[in-house]
Amino acid sequence: MEELARLVKTAGAEVVGKMGQKLARQSPSYLGRGKLEQLAAMKESADYTLVVCDDELEPSQQRALEQALQVKVLDRTALILDIFARRAGTREGQLQVELAQHEYLLPRLAGQWSHLERLGGGIGTRGPGESQLETDKRLIKEKISRLKKQLEQVRAQRSLYRKKRRANGIPVVALVGYTNAGKSTLFNMLSRANVTAEDKLFSTLDPVTRRLEPRGMPPFLLTDTVGFIQKLPPSIIAAFRATLEELEEADVLVHVVDITHANAAEQCQTVESTLAGLNLRQKPTVTALNKIDLLQGKPAEEEVVRLSQRLLRPSGRIVLLSAATGFGLDGLLKNIAALLPTGASRRAATPSAQDRYGTAGEYPAAA
């Protein structure tokens, strides 16, 4: 529920109240009758104009809630899609979000024309509402088909880019992790880039890649990817297939974990489960326990040991890190270097005037 509240704030709304309920089985109106009446009664005191549910609602459940509460109702998927639509800055990202939005909307069209569906049964039931509904369904299906074709073109272009990368022999390191774990901050610290890094969920949506040439290490490409989250809708994963394929081509994954979060272990498991669903669980991985600087004044050592025991893979590597201050970057780079593929084409870069990244010792961690 706290995460849902953060999603709502990220979307630009204000949370004025929360309500939860445990049900033995799903209700046709999502909430039980008593809770629904309680929520409706809260409208006068809380003065809310929107209700957001933490699950993906059936179209009938959404209509039942809206009729009972007389306000707009969104589910978790619609909320995430709204945030994605705000964050998408590239044409590819916009196409991916638009596809996910249309696939989400298609089964929910019936409720848009319910005011025209009162013509009775039998002969004459194919009234203007149904014909308009069928027209809209056909148009959306055609739009989905066009978007998929456009994304296939993007996928083909990305495939060509990756083929060129392989031909150049430069390995790829991808940052993965739960949203707001600090991936973009780490990316900026390593690459001297200016990727948006905010204390908001999904502050980075479009993948960004930079070439790094730390002295004494093989050069590699570093990619910042979209963050994962619990209950990530399958439609979003499908729409972002072209982007997530960047992870398939990565030689090494850096799993960034916000060690200060109360649910750090659960967030880590969510990322690991998503990677397993993408058949990426066997990738060489470095787990970076980030924001270690914020554990000052807490039993930091015990927390790190406890979390490390829960996160460590059989052959995994764990480093302590502060992407904000630069602490631990030396160790992170050494662990990445140890996992990079070897070969003549992946030799250490010769220091030059174009080396904008300096040696590992020049990172703030050395201070």
Mean pLDDT along residues 310-317: 60
Domain 2-14+27-87 has CATH 3.40.47.10: no
Tell whether the model's pLDDT for residue 117 goes beyond 80: no
Which alpha helices (DSSP H) does 192-340 contain, by range? 234-239, 241-249, 264-277, 300-311, 329-339
**Cβ atoms 59, 73 nearer than 8 A:** no
pLDDT at 252: 92
pLDDT at 54: 92
Element (H, E) at 53: strand 50-53
Question: At residue 153, what is the residue type?
Answer: Q
Name the CATH topology of 169-366: Rossmann fold (3.40.50)
Mean pLDDT along residues 43-71: 90
Tell whether the model's pLDDT for residue 361 goes beyond 50: no
Mind giving me the DSSP string for 99-132? HHHHHHHGGGGGGGGGGG--S-SSTT---HHHHH
- 220-224 vs 208-212, strand pairing mode: antiparallel
Q: Name the pTM for this structure.
A: 0.74
183-232 pLDDT per residue, tens: 888 998 888 766 555 555 565 566 778 888 887 788 888 988 877 888 87
**Cβ atoms 242, 92 nearer than 8 A:** yes
245-275 pLDDT per residue, tens: 778 888 999 999 998 888 888 888 888 888 8
Mind giving me the DSSP string for 57-83? PPHHHHHHHHHHH-SEEEEHHHHHHHH
